[in-house]
Amino acid sequence: MDGRGNQVRVLGVDPGLTRCGLGVVDGSGGRTVRAVAVDVVRTSADLPLAERLLAVGAEVERWIALHRPDVVAIERVFSQHNVRTVMGTAQASGVVALLAARAGLPVAFHTPSEVKAAVTGEGRAGKEQVTTMVTKVLGLARAPRPADAADALALAVCHCWRAPMLDRMAQAKARSDELARAHRARLAAAARAAR
């Protein structure tokens, strides 16, 4: 955990080509979270796609090296009406996931509704609601702008709050599967003994 005790540092990424939100949050168990950094990487639509992805990737690599997160939380690409927008978002998301994996970091994907529900309590909350709650939860002096910046912080907060529950659920399922295997083995042994 890099000398941060029991804290987890999450790099939240709201992927996009025109604007890619980056937010780093420290979580220390429970609902305690603290903002570390936030910014937006912008690329011009006039540039070739490869150059835009390279620019986003270079900044994500710089943030990983600078902030040394424990995990990268990326917004899961969700269906949008504009196919070009969703393609660009998916391509940026893939670059971020690749760079995180190359750095040896786990990657978590969260849907927009999961993020909204975690941060505002409402899975259909609007961007302004998310921005307001992120500002409040992180105790920021002013709201992060544009919305991509707030969304990146919201992703990081969502991961801080959801990851422990998801870990506990995975452990419970593993234990349940183990008990079920042991039970089936006992039943099979009893059936063999009864023959």
- Domain map (residue ranges) of the chain: 8-164
pLDDT digits (tens, 9 = 90+) for 58-72: 999 999 999 999 999
Q: How far apart are CA 152 and CA 12, in angstroms?
A: 5
Catalytic residue among 2, 59, 75, 178: 75
Amino acid 34 reads: R
In 48-126 the beta strands, taken as DSSP E runs, fall at: 71-75, 107-110
Residue range 8-164, CATH number: 3.30.420.10
Greater pLDDT, 17 or 162: 17
* Per-residue pLDDT at 143 exceeds 70: yes
Could you tell me which residues come within 8 angstroms of residue 79 by beta carbon, excluding any fewer than 6 positions away?
86
pLDDT digits (tens, 9 = 90+) for 117-129: 889 887 888 888 8
Segment holding 23, helix H or strand E: strand 19-27
pLDDT value for 24? 98
148 is catalytic: yes
14 is catalytic: yes
Task: Kindly state the average pLDDT of the residues 75-82.
Answer: 74
How big is the chain by its Cα radius of gyration, in Å?
20
The DSSP 8-state label assigned to residue 5 in this structure reads: T
Catalytic residue among 51, 122, 148, 167: 148
Q: How far apart are CA 157 and CA 35, in angstroms?
A: 9
As given in the structure block, the two tokens for residue 171 are 């452990």
- Phi, psi values for residue 179, rounded to 5°: -65, -40
Q: Among 7-21, 34-48, 49-63, 175-189, which stretch is predicted with the lowest mean pLDDT?
A: 175-189
pLDDT value for 189? 86
